Structure 1
Amino acid sequence: MRRSKRDLILDTAVELVGRHGLEGLSFESLATAAGLSKSGIIYHFPSRHDLLLGIHRHLATTWERELEELAGAPAAELSPTERLRAVVTSMGRTADLPELLMHLDARHDPVYQAAWAEVDRRWMPEPDSTGAYLIQLIAYGLWAHDHLHHAPLDPRAREKLIAAALEQIPT
């Protein structure tokens, strides 16, 4: 199936954010990298805010698809335990830099936050479910570790930590 220009723009924007941060993402740099005209980008995303919102929604949708694939079904068809297992498995991997940067960017705009909040509402435990929420925080730590610590986790150590977190999920 042929990829739409909108998807091409969003995928290219994510790549640029990964290479140059949000500061390196402009309509000009995006047009050049995507092989499109600046007006072609603006047709799909009339403002920088629209572009960033598109990236947030694109990444959130991609993450939810991954969660569904890991769990074997959409969130509505799963138990809280099954959803949390998918979250821990997914977040046990190292965060892709663009995804991490976009999460940090979302903290400054409620519209951006909403793109991620929809996925969170379907998949994440509530903070008042202490045991499950603690496991979610462990997953967050694994996800961000390699970007915040002086040395990345050894893959074997990461797998052991993921397994230990999964064993702690309350039923």
Structure 2
Amino acid sequence: MFMRPSSRTAILDAAFRLAGHDGGSIEITFEATAKEAGVTKGGVLYHFPTRDDLVLGVVGYVAQRVDEAMLDRLSTPFEQATAAERIRAYVDVVAAGRLTRADLAIFAESLANPALAAPWEAVLSRWLAVDEVADRVVRARLRTAHLAADGLWIADATGIFAPADDRQAVIDQLIDLTHTAQSTEKEELS
């Protein structure tokens, strides 16, 4: 049986699509969102009484989508995942193109506003934390993989310096960094 997404989800999807069309600006209006979602402006206002509520809803929705994409990449429950497995999930999501130009624009614009940055910080801090790794070299490998994946996301999203010919080789290097770190992490636990 086909189930329609809730109006709230349809509105968030629509606002996200609008952010992607506009070069990524989160200058989202009630009117444009309503039109894109196929609902009335009143329908948008019912779920999001203020523009700030709508923008915060979109940021939270996008951060949640990123979190879910990374959870899909883990082969173990999150609570049991090592830092290397979490970073590898992030690299996998970036490599698969699951983080788009609109995701990047929403992320970048939200950083200037602490309320908008909070959903991203909640998601990314739990995935990209490496503080529990005792070995400084292993932590550095994991941070390098994370930061290089950030760069790949930016390159893919903007088309600037995108490593078209070398993209897979870059991804393989990032994955290798996480595998090397994973092996060392397991040795530390033994």
Instruction: Say whether the fold is shared (TM-score over 0.5).
Output: yes
Mapping of 1:101-140 within 5 angstroms? 101-126=105-130, 129-140=139-150
The question of whether the paired residues in 2 share the 8 Å contact of 1:28 and 1:38 is answered with yes
Please report how far the alpha carbon of residue 158 of structure 1 lies from its aligned counterpart in structure 2 after TM superposition: 1.5
Match of 2:39, SS? coil
Match of 1:2 among 1, 4, 19: 4
Per-residue deviation, residues 92-145 of structure 1 (Å, max 9, x unmatched): 344412101101111111111110111112210347832211211000011111
The residue aligned with 1:82 is 85
Question: Sequence identity of aligned pairs in percent?
Answer: 29
Mapping of 1:14-93 within 5 angstroms? 14-20=16-22, 21-22=24-25, 25-93=28-96
TM-score by length of 1: 0.89
Q: Give, as a single letter, the amino acid of the residue that structure 2 aligns with 1:140.
A: D
Moved more, 37-46 or 141-150: 141-150
Q: Give, as a single letter, the amino acid of the residue that structure 2 aligns with 1:132.
A: L
The residue aligned with 2:186 is none
Please report how far the alpha carbon of residue 67 of structure 1 lies from its aligned counterpart in structure 2 after TM superposition: 0.5
The residue aligned with 1:159 is 168
Tell which structure's C-alpha radius of gyration is larger: 2
The number of aligned residues is 170
Please report how far the alpha carbon of residue 151 of structure 1 lies from its aligned counterpart in structure 2 after TM superposition: 5.4
Per-residue deviation, residues 139-165 of structure 1 (Å, max 9, x unmatched): 0011111344545432x5212211111
Flag as ranges the 4+ runs of structure 1 deviating above 4 A.
none
Q: Quick one: distance in 2 between partners of 1:23 and 1:79?
A: 34
Q: Quick one: distance in 2 between partners of 1:138 and 1:150?
A: 15
Q: Quick one: distance in 2 between partners of 1:137 and 1:69?
A: 21
Moved more, 63-72 or 142-151: 142-151
The question of whether the paired residues in 1 share the 8 Å contact of 2:26 and 2:55 is answered with no
Long gaps (5+) in structure 1: none
The residue aligned with 1:146 is 156
